[in-house]
């Protein structure tokens, strides 16, 4: 189906009259548009339903989970569906503004509040995606078992299948089992790099594009430090609100390993050196 035809059919299905569409910055996976109908603005994301089955249903579940504690701005889901082979997600639009003077303080407090949202088990009620890769979320009562079996092992297997020789050994898994802190599960965004938050019209943070789960909270913080884009004040405030266990700085590469494996599997050999360095560091 032609993109323009699909957009108009989606608008019709959601009773949006006389829609006008303009492209927004998207990514490699989804095409993103601003839809204006009867003076109201919404965001529509579309992709190939066969190539990424269930992606938008998983994103909807993640956004709704992040909204539930009511501690940080998250766009509401307004529609979800499929027109032939085009899947779509309809979302609230956020007007952007400059960061207010307390932006990073607010962000730090809000992330701490989000991470205080807990569960009896690690995992999530459904699997989802990290980028375009499936992310499994089977339940576990052990933080170490969850991180190894639900995060590292699937990516390590995929890397092996792609022909990367990473030299993983049993001592690595034993060593990380001994240093991962035994904390309760936290509700995390799951893919919090600088491109996955907006500044809303009040000048406050707004989370988008999650890979949500109840998981080790340090994963979010480590991802935030991986590619930059976050002022150091956010981490200071976070630690005041929800103090981290001793040794967090030493564990940062361990959590970043998951995201670097994802990037290795998505984007290629340019990430191999960082992955093998971390594996060696903890072996």
Which pairing describes strands 205-207 and 197-199: parallel, antiparallel, or unpaired?
antiparallel
Mean per-residue pLDDT for 195-207? 96
Long-range CB pairs of 31-34, under 8 A, 24+ apart, other chains included: 31/3, 33/7, 34/93
Is it the case that residue 2 has pLDDT exceeding 70? no
Structure tokens at 37: 């109908």
- Spatial separation of the C-alpha atoms in residues 100 and 96, rounded to whole Å: 12
* DSSP 8-state class, residue 209: S
Cβ burial 226-251 (10 Å sphere, 16+ → b, else e)? beeebeeebbebbeebbebeeebeeb
Structure tokens at 111: 């992330």
Is it the case that residue 28 has pLDDT exceeding 80? no
Mean pLDDT over each residue of the chain, to the nearest integer: 95
Instruction: Please give the pLDDT value at position 115.
Output: 98
- Spatial separation of the C-alpha atoms in residues 277 and 169, rounded to whole Å: 13
Kindly state the percentage of the chain with pLDDT values over 70.
98
- Spatial separation of the C-alpha atoms in residues 181 and 255, rounded to whole Å: 12
Q: Please, are residues 63 and 79 in contact by the beta-carbon 8 Å criterion?
A: no
Residue recorded with tokens 């407090």? 109
Is it the case that residue 27 has pLDDT exceeding 70? no
Instruction: Please give the pLDDT value at position 213.
Output: 98
Q: Please, are residues 197 and 73 in contact by the beta-carbon 8 Å criterion?
A: no
Instruction: Please give the pLDDT value at position 84.
Output: 86
Structure tokens at 29: 């996976």
Is it the case that residue 11 has pLDDT exceeding 80? yes
Structure tokens at 123: 């995992």
Q: Could you tell me the pLDDT band of residue 39, with boundaries at 50, 70 and 90?
A: confident
Tally: H helices and E strands in the chain: 10, 11
Q: Could you tell me the pLDDT band of residue 242, with boundaries at 50, 70 and 90?
A: very high
Q: Could you tell me the pLDDT band of residue 26, with boundaries at 50, 70 and 90?
A: low
Mean per-residue pLDDT for 32-43? 93
Instruction: Please give the pLDDT value at position 237.
Output: 98
Cα dihedral 103/108/110/114 (nearest 10): 150
Mean per-residue pLDDT for 183-188? 98
In the chain, the domains with their CATH numbers are 3-92 (3.30.200.20), 103-281 (3.90.1200.10)
- Spatial separation of the C-alpha atoms in residues 6 and 8, rounded to whole Å: 5
* pLDDT digit string, tens, across residues 56-99: 999 999 999 999 999 999 999 999 999 988 999 999 999 999 99
The helix (H) or strand (E) run that includes residue 254 is helix 248-267
Q: Any catalytic annotation for residue 161?
A: no
Candidates 102, 127, 182, 191; catalytic one: 191
Is it the case that residue 125 has pLDDT exceeding 80? yes
Is it the case that residue 215 has pLDDT exceeding 90? yes
**3 state SS for 47-107:** EECCCCCCHHHHHHHHHHHHHCCCCCECCCEEEEEEECCEEEEEEECCCCCCCCCCHHHHH
User: What is the sign of the dihedral through the CA atoms of 119, 129, 114 and 66?
Assistant: negative
Q: Could you tell me the pLDDT band of residue 29, with boundaries at 50, 70 and 90?
A: confident
Q: Could you tell me the pLDDT band of residue 4, with boundaries at 50, 70 and 90?
A: confident
Mean per-residue pLDDT for 179-190? 97
- Spatial separation of the C-alpha atoms in residues 139 and 216, rounded to whole Å: 13
Is it the case that residue 50 has pLDDT exceeding 90? yes
- Spatial separation of the C-alpha atoms in residues 57 and 210, rounded to whole Å: 12
Mean per-residue pLDDT for 266-274? 97
């Amino acid at each position: 189906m032609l993109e323009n035809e699909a957009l108009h059919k989606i608008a019709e299905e959601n009773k949006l009259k006389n829609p006008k569409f303009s492209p927004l910055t998207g990514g490699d996976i989804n095409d993103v548009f601003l839809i204006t109908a009867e003076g109201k603005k919404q965001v529509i994301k579309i992709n190939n339903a066969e190539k990424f089955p269930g992606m938008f249903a998983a994103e909807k579940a993640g956004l709704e989970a992040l909204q539930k504690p009511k501690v940080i701005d998250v766009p509401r889901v307004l529609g979800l569906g499929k027109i032939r082979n085009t899947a779509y997600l309809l979302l609230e639009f956020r007007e952007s503004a400059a960061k207010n003077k307390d932006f990073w303080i607010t962000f730090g407090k809000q992330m701490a509040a989000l991470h205080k949202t807990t569960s009896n088990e690690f995992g999530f009620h459904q699997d989802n995606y990290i980028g375009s890769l499936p992310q499994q979320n089977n339940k576990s009562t052990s933080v170490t078992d969850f991180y190894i079996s639900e995060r590292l092992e699937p990516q390590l297997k995929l890397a092996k299948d792609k022909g990367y020789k990473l030299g993983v050994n049993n001592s690595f898994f034993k060593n990380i089992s001994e240093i991962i802190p035994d904390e309760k599960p936290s509700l995390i965004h799951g893919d919090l790099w600088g491109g996955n938050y907006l500044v809303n019209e009040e000048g406050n943070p707004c989370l988008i594009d999650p890979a949500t789960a109840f998981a080790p909270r340090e994963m979010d913080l480590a991802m935030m430090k991986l590619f930059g884009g976050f002022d150091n004040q956010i981490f200071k405030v976070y630690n005041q609100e929800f103090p981290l266990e001793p040794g967090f700085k030493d564990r940062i590469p361990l959590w970043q390993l998951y995201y670097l494996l994802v990037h290795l599997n998505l984007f290629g050999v340019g990430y191999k050196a960082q992955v093998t360095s971390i594996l060696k560091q903890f072996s």
